[in-house]
Structure 1
């Protein structure tokens, strides 16, 4: 029998689960509720039991509702957090994927461009798969970066050459049925040279190499005169063009060229003379300088190999001035006779008077006006080719010059020298044309009967043949004509007006094939110099030996043209033509009997007076000063006074320096007129100054080149310089801003000893 207390306790224990469970956050209330339940447990009966059940159900419902209200937002928040975490995880995974792709791509590029580069020679690397070439300095910096073999189909394999194609001391690689590449290396003193030769194996492939000419690669100089005369060269733009002489008003290049390019970081590119060279600069919106070998129907119609070859040499050191000095042609005095050296000095110290001879009176009066000035030396009277009835006659026009022998004697007694301009062009109206054709002395028409001469146009001659200097009979024939002039009129020397490659007949054919049309002027000049005295040539691709001076191209009489004089002079001097003859003071305006003056009006317009004065100031410091219009023609005493002071300055200060550095040039090959970087090659500012120059290393000239300007910016290289205007001392390696220059003054600065102190 179970005790009553135990039964009640059991009933009480059974009813406890029907009650709401205690709230976790309401632990303070739990003892009182348990106490109440314990007190009322023995009193529950009938309706009380039902009410208790309803109360318990309501309590459970209320507690569940409260629980849901508390837990649902928490669940939603947890869900949002999980989604955000998922997005972040996906983004992180995506970022890792991109990083992996980038690293793989970078590794591939690095592998191909660097790891696959092979150091074939010291300071030289080449990636044969990507055809990337890099030349380094001794400190490891990149000097040259280039893409070789542009245009080779990408699927063409590259292999070592077969044994019978190998060359001693060269690396040979072949892209099957496309081209073959030879790489070689030589070392001279501190200079490394790398020789690159491409041999095309397909008639559809013309070897082409492109060099990076972006700003990080330094500055480039050389070539000669190009369109718009960019200085440095990387500032210009030129479509792919044959590297032959011409007129920059119509063609890509000017009258003097050399296949030589110099970089401010210490590298040169020298292209072989046999290469059928095409050149482009920054073409197609690139920063590339490209060399291409290509045969064509005019410039490179004659070739030694059936398919084109690109052959050039890259030389490098750590100093551009040292490198240029090593590359310069030395010992120009070798074989120089005393009278030839005297001729050089006379051109440096005496003016050249360029006259278009209308008649004897014009020549006589011109020389009389020179003497009347009283301060200009006599110098050389240069008669344009109009002294002949027709170009190629090689006799004086007796109708216009009936007593020329006597006139020349008078001119000689006045202290002048007489120079006649001659051309290799024989007009069809010349008395010598028939004789030249009969003896086959003229260049013939390619593809026609060799007796048919090839005709061209040059200056006033609308139809003219060209003497074939490769014919053994031509030089004796011409020599006889010129010696007759010398004997009869006592001509002192000749000036060779050779034209340019673009003036040659398009379908020219010489008895001996020419490498290119420019090759003609080289042969002609060398042939004439062996027998006839010559003081100047109008065009060249190789340096004529002293005392021959090379002329600048004709410049229009304009402010735009005067700005191109200095970069042209600097470029010609740097590529190996130290003895240069600038054009006339004031520009080469229309002269009587010239193609720009068809009416033969002797009273042509004078250049603008201010332009004439500024041009005269500039010319005072150049190797040769050439006049067409005398300063007295302006009928202005101020012009005469300026000319007189400039003449004194030239005679006392400039001429001694010109002679000094001319003698140095004969030893070293360095130019007389130099860019500022030759004074301080490590100074970046000197690399880009385009409107200043130095005479040797002792005098800097900064002429005014803008109409109406009375001031300019002047840069002085390192050292101490004496101001030529006010005599003050100025420290170098800095700009002088807003430097005042009056119309009758020119800014020049003389180098002082290094120990000079203020």
Structure 2
């Protein structure tokens, strides 16, 4: 019996393949339901039923075969996809791991530099673990960035100081058995000052702090004269050196110094005078300015504490000119007598005639030549130390000056003043050396019998002792010698040729210990000023009271040397020496390596004529004009004509300004000769101009400093300026390119009133 199928089951069975993915062959070969059922669905023959059953089985077989054929490539493709996905997953995990490492490192750095950088004071941050200090302006901009405590072993821990080491109003931190740090803060109006003190606790540790002097930190000024006279200071390079005066041809620093540094962003660093200070600038290929306290066998052999201390103050505000003005000394009028003020004005308005007195005739003829010129005022005749038989005699050489009393009387009647140079050096050939040794008036040699003087060399003296000004017997002895000169020869005043710290005997020992060898000149100047009239000193580390002028160092007679005059003048004025006395017009021709002295001979001719003219043009605008060689010595009418016009310019235009700003200087402490940034501290171009200066705030000078040059670049600060050569008006805050300057001209510009229409 042939089985019968339920139509619903057959239909259901036939519908199963329809659930599979579309297949072309199955659709072509598979009959439809209506075809299998015929026209009459209720009547099915046996053949039809059999054919239907076979068709259904064949359909299932075809479906299974197609399923297998389709599934194998898909499986292969799925395996490839899984491998690719695995690679992508691994790459993602690797990238994620690197990101985690980066974030952890960044978080660590940020934590150490910012989270651990505690705000101990307003606008001040310090990270005690990394020892990184940052000082901010009122707007939140970084002004100072420094690494403190350089050289502390990294494994040394930092802890709060014990109670008995604490100081009132100070933060105290200690690196065990290494050093102790005190931080304090004071505020004055809108200026914040931060006081930093390091106390070494180990004989092997010398406190050292290094400041970032990279270009993003602005520009730095101050200190005094350094080797190669970089201006601004961050452009120079200096190995770690003791901060004492010397000769920049052989030593790191020049004849005038102050422990004061000013930043163009509005910050100052002022180092305590008791600190045994060493300084370096951009040493070891860094952009660092480093301060270190270190005892040694010469500069800082004497000290109050057994281990060195580094003590300095950082002050900050938003305006560098305001900050500098607030830091300047304001007591220059104190104790100033009318005759001393008159002496200041006389030096500003009258030349200084520096003469090496070979004999009376040389002095007599020199003053006669000055008068013969007819256009130069008489001024001060400054006799170098050769007026004595030997340095330290303090009497005139009667062999060379047999009738000096009469000669000086004639010079006085001609309207000149007489100034004698004196030194604290007593030559071993001096008539006073034996007496000075017997009375122990000389600095003794450390480690030897105190009766044995310590000897040194200075200028023409190959062997000389040095007066011990700390000995109570020395000043009366010296005063008696000088008063005798005044009484006999009617000497008007003296010039103190004190040498530098480097000229002191290496193993010096005074009756009262000196903080450092520069301390000697400060004591000597202050002691002398109360007893005899003085118009100038050759070296200083603290400002002598008016009317004393401080000399610039000697300059070689060369084009290279003239380029260093302006930055030296600007630096000296900025560190607190407004009354400066430049060297001779044309340079000091006796110096080795002068342009006209290639063999280093000391018997030389006149300076190069063009150099002399350009130097005279520059000196016309400086506080004091000093001559060694008269313009008439060139036997050239053009030189005389140039000198005459410059003299008229100085008398009519420059001298009134010098006197005006000298009085202002006595009130404010600001310099007479100023850098351009003092006229416009917000103008970045003014911060780097090294070959221009201003007289007060009313006259800008741009001299030519290159041989054969007849043009130069000139920058004018904000405002309207009248050209001194052609009288035209020029607008400021811009450069004048290729400005023409003839050999007989000097570029200068006079400030016009603010309401001037341009």
Q: TM-score, normalised by structure 1?
A: 0.91
Compare 470-479 and 42-51 and name the one that shifted more: 42-51
The SS at the match of 1:5 is coil
SS at match of 1:714: strand
Distance 1:605 1:70, change over 3 A: farther
Note the C-alpha offset of 1:93.
2.2
In terms of mean alpha carbon deviation, does 352-361 or 41-50 score higher? Answer: 41-50
Question: What number of residue pairs does the alignment pair up?
Answer: 758
Distance 1:214-1:32 versus aligned 2 partners, 3 A rule: same
| Cα distance, 1:37 vs structure 2 | 18
Could you tell me how far 1:92 is from its partner in structure 2? 2.6
* Higher mean C-alpha displacement, 55-64 vs 148-157: 55-64
Gaps of 5+ in 1: none
Preserved contact between residue 133 and residue 145 of structure 2 (Cα < 8 Å): yes
Is the counterpart of residue 18 in structure 1 residue 1 in structure 2? no
Displacement of 1:111 after TM fit?
1.2
Give distance in 1, aligned partners of 2:533 and 2:463: 28
Moved more, 460-469 or 365-374: 365-374
The residue number in structure 1 matching 2:550 is 550
Per-residue Cα deviation, 1:683-725 (whole angstroms, up to 9, x for no partner): 1111111111100000011111111111111111111111111
Does the aligned pair in 1 maintain the 2:721–2:729 contact within 8 Å?
yes
> By how many angstroms is 1:16 displaced?
17
Deviates more, 1:307-316 or 1:165-174: 165-174
Q: Which runs of 5+ in 2 are unaligned?
A: none
Shift of 1:27: 3.4
Give the Å deviation of 1:26.
Answer: 6.5
C-alpha distance in 1, partners of 2:92/2:600? 85
Aligned to 1:303, the other structure's residue is in SS state: coil
Structure 2 distance, partners of 1:569, 1:590, is 22
Between stretches 56-65 and 150-159, larger displacement belongs to 56-65
Residues 576 and 669 in structure 2, CA contact (< 8 A), matched pair in contact too: yes
Which stretch of structure 1 is more off in the superposition, 16-25 or 34-43?
Answer: 34-43
Deviation, structure 1 residue 736? 1.1
Residue range with higher mean Cα deviation, 523-532 or 90-99: 90-99
Cα displacement (A) at 1:319: 0.8
My pick for the range that moved more, 55-64 or 194-203, is 55-64
Aligned to 2:421, what secondary structure does the other structure show?
A: strand
SS at match of 2:447: coil
Q: Please tell me whether the aligned partners of residues 392 and 426 of structure 2 are also in contact (alpha carbons under 8 angstroms).
A: yes
Distance 1:16 1:618 in 2: 112
Structure 1 residue 95, shift from structure 2 partner: 2.1
Q: Is the 8 A contact 1:18 1:53 kept in 2?
A: no
CA gap of 1:401–1:44, structure 2 versus 1, over 3 A, is farther
Kept in 2, the 8 Å contact 1:20–1:59? The answer is no
User: Matches of 2:377 and 2:115 in 1, distance apart?
Assistant: 68
**Alpha-carbon separation, structure 2, partners of 1:448 and 1:133:** 46
Larger CA deviation: 181-190 vs 533-542? 181-190
User: How many Å apart are 1:212 and its aligned residue?
Assistant: 1.2
Q: Which moved more, 1:558-567 or 1:396-405?
A: 396-405
Distance verdict in 2 for CA 1:38–1:688, change over 3 Å: same
1:82: Cα distance to partner? 4.3
CA drift at 1:80:
5.1
**How far apart are residue 227 of structure 1 and its match?**
0.8
Contact 1:19 1:56 in 2 (8 A): no
Distance apart, 1:355 and its partner CA: 0.9
RMSD: 4.2
Q: Where does residue 568 of structure 2 map in the other structure? A: 568
* C-alpha distance in structure 1 between counterparts of 2:743 and 2:579, whole Å: 29
Q: Assess if the C-alpha contact under 8 Å between 2:264 and 2:320 holds in 1.
A: yes
Distance 1:27 1:4, change over 3 A: closer
Q: Which moved more, 1:65-74 or 1:242-251?
A: 65-74
When residues 10 and 494 of structure 1 are mapped into structure 2, their CA distance, relative to the original with a 3 A threshold, is closer
Q: Distance in 1 between matches of 2:15 and 2:314?
A: 107
What is the CA-CA distance between 1:19 and the residue it aligns to?
Answer: 22
- Corresponding residue number in structure 1 for 2:450: 450
* Cα shift readout 1:367-425 (whole Å, capped 9, x = no counterpart): 11111111111111111111111111111111111111111111111111111111111
C-alpha change, 1:51 and 1:504, in structure 2 (3 Å) is: farther
Match runs of 1:4-43 below 5 Å: 24=24, 27-29=27-29
Structure 1 distance, partners of 2:474, 2:745, is 51
**Distance of 1:369 and 1:328 partners within structure 2:** 42
Give the conservation status (yes or no) of the 8 Å contact 1:358–1:593: no
**Change beyond 3 A, Cα 1:743–1:99:** same
Distance of aligned partners of 1:4 and 1:142 in 2 relative to their CA distance in 1, 3 Å threshold: closer
Q: How far did 1:337 drift? A: 0.8
Contact 2:556 2:591 in 1 (8 A): no
Residues 1:20 and 1:78: Cα distance change in structure 2 (over 3 Å) = closer
Deviation for aligned residue 1:7: 19
Does the Cα contact within 8 Å between 1:583 and 1:626 map onto a contact in 2?
Answer: yes
Residue 740 of structure 1, CA deviation: 1.1
Assess, with a 3 A threshold, how the Cα gap between structure 1 residues 25 and 221 changes in structure 2: closer, same or farther.
farther
Decide whether aligned partners of structure 1 residues 668 and 3 sit closer, same or farther in structure 2, where only a CA change above 3 A counts. Answer: closer
CA positional deviation for 1:279: 0.7
Cα distance in 1 between the residues matched to 2:739 and 2:288: 37
Q: CA deviation at 1:44?
A: 24
Q: Bigger shift: 604-613 or 3-12?
A: 3-12
Provide the secondary structure at the position in 1 that maps to 2:6.
helix
Q: Deviations over 1:56-97 (max 9, x none)?
A: 999999999999999888777665554444333333322222
TM-score normalised by structure 2 residue count? 0.91
**1:62–1:499 distance in 2 versus 1, CA, 3 Å:** farther
